[in-house]
Amino acid sequence: MSHPILTDTQAKMKKAVDHTLHEFSNIHTGKASPSMVENIMVEAYGSTMRIKDCSAISTPDARQILIQPWDKGLTQAISKAIMIANLGFNPAVDGQLVRIPLADMSRERRQEFVKVANRLAEEGRVHVRNVRRDGLEAVKKAKLPEDEAKRTEKDLQALTDKSIEEINKHLASKEKDLLTV
């Protein structure tokens, strides 16, 4: 694993896997998570800022998100921003707090999310294979001695297999999360 082509390819594959995992984290599994709302933009103090930059977000239970603005005057603005974001949430202002109850997901909706997760996983695997292809082309262009080229190609395949295995492992975990009620 000392060849620069391998090092570069490994970094690109890790980036592809990390991107796929980040995409998985955006799929709503029916359990409340602060990440579901933290990046929604809110009109505050004459500019826009993320909800996580102007309030505390917590999940008191698996079916509710609780947002506590640091400035009580932002409560209505946060509620409005969540409605405008059109994520399917119906925020309720409760004094100085914004509560977001999450409805149970139907079986069909869970199946749709599983399909989305499978599509994202396949995109990640394709990206990893494209990185492998680029690495193999770099090996050919480098005009390495035959034995070193073969060894490098074998190592590239091992990196590819490892990256695809990681994506598949996380896909199985995400499917399990989505299908368990």
What pLDDT was estimated at residue 1?
A: 46
Q: Do residues 79 and 116 make contact, with C-beta atoms less than 8 angstroms apart?
A: no
Residue keyed to tokens 């202002």: 93
- Domain map of the chain by residue range? 4-27+106-179, 34-101
CATH 1.10.132.20 fits 4-27+106-179, yes or no: yes
For CA atoms 161, 163, 164, 169, the dihedral sign is positive
* Most confident by average pLDDT, 85-89, 111-115, 163-167: 163-167
State pLDDT tens for residues 143-172: 889 999 999 999 999 999 999 999 999 999
Asked if 56 and 67 touch (Cβ cutoff 8 Å), the reply is yes
pTM of the model: 0.69
Tell me the pLDDT of the chain averaged across its residues: 89
Q: Do 4-27+106-179 and 34-101 fold alike per CATH?
A: no
Pick the more confident residue, 154 or 178.
154
Which pLDDT score, from 0 to 100, does residue 181 have?
61
The whole-number average pLDDT for the span 32-39 is 83
Q: Which of 1-5, 48-52, 86-90 has the highest mean pLDDT?
A: 48-52
Of 1.10.10.10, 3.30.1360.40, 3.30.43.10, 3.40.50.10860, the CATH number of 34-101 is 3.30.1360.40
Residue 88: its pLDDT value, please?
74
Report pLDDT digits (tens) over 67-76: 999 988 899 9
